[in-house]
């Protein structure tokens, strides 16, 4: 069955779309209105977080390393935003292709590094709450650094593959930066890897971890008060909703646009609709750069509590409390 679907899609790929996909003035206006405050607030929040991480925190833990990695990826993405805004208003000379690819990589690499870092933090928090005494075996600065390096290498490799499959046609004098430069759909294998590794996989993992943490927290009666427990559940739920709202529209729209390009390449109206939706959803995804900073506050607040606890008897409770209130980013 799966083989038949792949053969069908492969045959459909031979058809290229004759549609001229554009972005309306309304979409350009929405992007400007949305991106400018995201850029300003995102830089202020994340640079402030980095300053706090490097100058205020004396004890570096695996959690701080993951948060620093997340904040750095958000900052780099934000630095690419002005170029992305500019690219929508003009076509670029083909001679600037290398610079364009660098900017696109800076943008998308850091978006997916952010997603995968959030996923890793969710796994660490889940292990801490379900297996508190075993959690210390995976919670070390060295392992956190190794994981972060592997995340960067994985996403950078995918970015290099993207530039290979989206190379402009020969004799092209103008290119569209931050937009697809070929009329052919991207390869099915690339779409599957991007969607599974970049969104659906992390989404399932974060969903599982969040549900398990909330269920455990609901049954755990050793916390200081019911109000504290309710607050922790709300933090976990809010972080999950933020992830879903920010990244689900973009990835679902990207997937459906690919299906339309593959199965209905000449349905210009439908293709234009998904093209517009993807670029609007991309704006929403960037809002995550501003929202991450609120998660830093809750995690670091509880980090100070647990780092002060030295008693072996209270170690299990403090680790659970830290896990409860940190939740997922």
Domain range for residue 60?
A: 20-326
Query: What is the pLDDT, as a whole number, of residue 222?
Result: 53
Query: What is the pLDDT, as a whole number, of residue 53?
Result: 83
Comparing CA positions, the residue from 302, 295, 289 lying closest to residue 235 is: 295
Query: What is the pLDDT, as a whole number, of residue 16?
Result: 57
Spell out where the chain has E strands. Answer: 92-93, 174-175
Residue 251 lies in a domain: yes
- State both tokens at 131: 């297996």
Query: What is the pLDDT, as a whole number, of residue 220?
Result: 67
| CATH code for position 250 | 1.20.1070.10
Residue 77 lies in a domain: yes
Residue 6 lies in a domain: no
Our count of domains for the chain comes to 1
Given a cut of 50, whether residue 309 has pLDDT beyond it is no
Specify whether the CB–CB gap between 322 and 121 falls below 8 A.
Answer: no
- C-alpha 165/C-alpha 160 separation (Å) is 9
Residue 7 lies in a domain: no
Residues 90-149 have pLDDT tens digits of: 778 877 888 888 998 999 999 999 999 999 988 988 888 888 887 777 888 899 999 999
Given a cut of 60, whether residue 2 has pLDDT beyond it is no
Residue 121 lies in a domain: yes
Work out the number of other CB atoms within 10 angstroms of the CB of residue 8: 12
Looking at residue 167, the DSSP 8-state letter turns out to be: P
Q: What is the pTM of this model?
A: 0.83
Query: What is the pLDDT, as a whole number, of residue 126?
Result: 87
Specify whether the CB–CB gap between 51 and 112 falls below 8 A.
Answer: no
Residue 104 lies in a domain: yes
- C-alpha 8/C-alpha 183 separation (Å) is 19
Residue 156 lies in a domain: yes
Query: What is the pLDDT, as a whole number, of residue 329?
Result: 41
Residues 194-252 have pLDDT tens digits of: 999 999 999 999 999 999 988 887 776 555 556 767 777 787 888 889 899 999 999 99
Burial 205-229 (b: 16+ CB within 10 A, else e): bbeebbeebbeebeeeeebeeeeeb
Looking at residue 184, the DSSP 8-state letter turns out to be: S
Phi, psi of 203 (to 5 degrees): -60, -45
CA dihedral 222, 227, 233, 235 (to 10 degrees): -130
Average pLDDT, integer, range 27-34: 90
Please report where in the chains the tokens 């398990």 appear, as a residue: 212
CA dihedral 202, 206, 207, 212 (to 10 degrees): 150
Given a cut of 60, whether residue 312 has pLDDT beyond it is no
Residue 4 lies in a domain: no
Given a cut of 50, whether residue 14 has pLDDT beyond it is no
């Amino acid at each position: 069955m799966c083989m038949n679907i792949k053969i069908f899609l492969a045959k459909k790929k031979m058809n290229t779309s004759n549609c001229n996909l554009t972005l309306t003035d309304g979409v350009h206006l929405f992007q400007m209105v949305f991106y400018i405050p995201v850029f300003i607030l995102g830089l202020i929040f994340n640079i402030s977080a980095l300053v706090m991480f490097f100058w205020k925190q004396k004890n570096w833990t695996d959690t701080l390393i993951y948060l620093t990695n997340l904040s750095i990826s958000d900052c780099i993405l934000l630095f690419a935003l002005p170029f992305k805004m500019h690219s929508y208003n003009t076509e670029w000379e083909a001679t600037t292709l290398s610079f364009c690819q660098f900017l696109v990589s800076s943008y998308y690499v850091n978006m997916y590094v952010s997603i995968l870092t959030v996923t890793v933090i969710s796994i660490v928090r889940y292990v801490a709450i379900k297996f508190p005494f075993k959690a210390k075996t995976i919670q070390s600065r060295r392992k956190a650094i190794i994981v972060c390096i592997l995340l960067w290498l994985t996403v950078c490799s995918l970015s290099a593959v993207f530039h290979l499959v989206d190379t402009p046609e020969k004799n092209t004098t103008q290119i569209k930066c931050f937009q697809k430069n070929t009329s052919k759909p991207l390869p099915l294998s690339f779409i599957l890897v991007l969607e599974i590794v970049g969104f659906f996989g992390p989404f399932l993992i974060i969903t599982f971890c969040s549900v398990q943490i909330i269920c455990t927290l609901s049954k755990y009666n050793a916390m200081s008060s019911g109000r504290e427990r309710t607050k922790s559940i709300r933090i976990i739920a809010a972080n999950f909703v933020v992830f879903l709202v920010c990244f689900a529209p973009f990835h679902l729209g990207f997937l459906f646009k690919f299906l339309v390009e593959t199965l209905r390449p000449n349905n210009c109206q439908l293709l234009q609709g998904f093209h517009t939706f993807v670029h609007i959803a991309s704006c929403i995804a960037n809002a995550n750069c501003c929202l991450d900073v609120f998660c830093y506050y809750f995690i670091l607040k509880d980090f100070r509590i647990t780092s002060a606890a030295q008693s072996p008897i209270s170690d299990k409770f403090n680790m659970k409390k830290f896990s409860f209130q940190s939740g997922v980013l």
